[in-house]
Each structure stands twice: as C-alpha cells, then as structure tokens.
Amino acid sequence: MNFTLHQLQVFLEVVKQESITKAAENMHMTQPATSIQLKNFQQQFDYQLTEVIGRKLYITDFGKSIAKIANDIVIESEKLKYKTKEFGAEIAGKLKMSSVSTGKYLIPYFLKGFLDQYSSVELELDVTNKSLVVQSLKNNEIDFALVSVSPSDLQLEEEILMENKLYLVGNQPSLNDNRHYIYREKGSATRAAMDHYLSSKKVQKKMELTSNEAVKQALIAGLGYSIIPLIGIRNEIKHKELHIIPQEGLPITTNWRLVWLKQKKFSPTAEAFLNYIKNNKRQIIDENFYWIKEII
C-alpha cells in the first residue's frame, strides 16, 4: 500500500460529512481535488469504501472499518508532530473540545489563561447543539465537552465549573398572556428545562428557534417570553433591553460541567488543561462572573 496522510484525512472528512462537497468545503479544497484524493485512496483496496445510491453517498461497512484504522493513524501522526516539544517538557499539541451553544458565553474565560501559558497548544473547539456534542463524545473525537446536563447514556467523569441559572425573561418586567413562549429546538438542554417547567401550565402560543442568539433577539423585539440562561444576557439586562420576570419555581439551577469519557487516555495537553481548570476555576469565576450575583 502507498497512501498518504493527506488521503487519510480527506477520507475521514468524507466519512464524517457523508458528502464530498461538504468535505471539500471543510478542508478548503476544490471538489475535483477532493474526489481525486478519495479515488487514489480507494485504489489501495479491493473493496469499495463508499457507494452512491440515488445521488447520496454512503460509507460501506468495509469503509467504516478502514475509517477507524485511519483515525488511529491520524491521531498518532499528530502525536509525532508535538513529540519533540513534549520531550523538552513543553506542553504542545491539540486540545479538542466541544461545547453546547450557550457555553460560548463561558468557555473562552476558562481557556484564555491556559492558552496564554502554553502558547504551543492548538485549540480545536466546536460550539454546536447538544446532540452533536454528545455524538462527539460517543465517537471519542474530543478530549472534553462542556454541558449543563450530562448525557445519561454515557459513562463519564466530570469537573463541575459553576452554576447555570435559567430565568423567565422578556422585554417587559411582567407577563402578557397574548405573547408567545419562545422555545429552543428539541434536544437542547434549555428546551428540556423549559418543557419541564411549563408542562403543568397552559401554553397556547409557541415559537421554536434554533439558537440562543435568535431567541434573545426575538425577546428584545417583544415577540414573547423564554426561559433562558442568565449567563447569555448580561448586557441586555444591564441596558434594560430584557427583564427577569420573577416566577414561582424559578430559577432552574443546573451546573456547567466539563465532561469526558470514563477511562479516557489523556494526552499530556489534555491532562495539563484539566489540572489547570482544577487549580484555577475559582479565580476564573471570581474575576469574570462576579456580575451574576450583582444582577440577581
């Protein structure tokens, strides 16, 4: 066999996206160039890695088995890239993380000091919905995930970071029964909390939006009310664009937590980051999230 590391990377991206076009976009390649790399890799094998049915690309069982091996090779090649620096006692390598969308208001503050201290570390952070975060954990594609509610179907370990409080919010300080309740999409932890709280109440008008920012802008525009995390609306509360509406049973309180697969074999970089979080999280919270107590 005579394949290249680049061919492995292209093949893995095609497997992940189940699309040559999307793989090309993500790898900043042209579609013809991606197709050629995939074709050259395919020529190494007697069995098909992919097949096209009705214009949709599918990964064969053989292709899936090769993808697992290819992924291991790519991971080991990345370790080689940083081995010299690690041998010299310098932390270097990739830190791979995934965060639920609301976590974007939190995770940068827990990363900054670590990245300042270890300038050779490369961060790979995916901010997405909870279902994709969980899938990344299941596939062992990341070192850590940031969530507010741990998935129950995985064996995980965790480090609690700080409280996550959810309040009923609108652009006026009181309720108006004629307005909609604005929900996040199904699968979101915020949506689950809102569904649970409103399950015993009569809610006739509903609106569903697919991001925290979309919900926030709809609230500011006066389209309705939503139960959302306080952490994402600091400026809007400060400038009185949004108001917390006191209600019995609120706030809903969960915890932001860093989670990882049980028995996960950490790279030196991932281990250094976890130690940094354990040693510095209290200071990070005090310096960056003091305003939460002032608002509530």
The predicted structure's pLDDT at residue 31:
92
CA distance 264 to 246: 42
| pLDDT tens by residue, 201-218 | 877 778 999 888 999 999
Task: Name the DSSP letter for residue 5.
Answer: H
Q: Where are the domains of the chain?
A: 5-76, 89-162+255-295, 164-254
Better pLDDT: 293 or 49: 49
| pLDDT tens by residue, 47-106 | 999 999 988 999 999 999 999 999 989 888 877 766 655 555 567 788 999 999 999 999
The reply to whether 89-162+255-295 and 164-254 are identical in fold is: yes
The predicted structure's pLDDT at residue 1:
74
CA distance 296 to 291: 9
Structure-token pair, residue 104 = 């974007």
CA distance 79 to 73: 10
CA distance 167 to 249: 10
Structure-token pair, residue 77 = 């090649």
Handedness of CA 43, 48, 54, 55 (dihedral sign): negative
User: Dihedrals φ, ψ of 138, to 5°?
Assistant: -60, -40
Give the CATH fold of the 89-162+255-295 domain: D-Maltodextrin-Binding Protein; domain 2 (3.40.190)
Residues in CB range of 85: below 8 A, 6 or more apart: 91, 92, 120
- What's the whole-model pTM score? 0.71
CATH of 5-76, one of 3.10.20.30, 1.10.10.10, 3.40.50.12780, 3.90.198.10: 1.10.10.10
CATH of 164-254, one of 3.30.70.920, 3.40.630.40, 3.40.50.2020, 3.40.190.10: 3.40.190.10
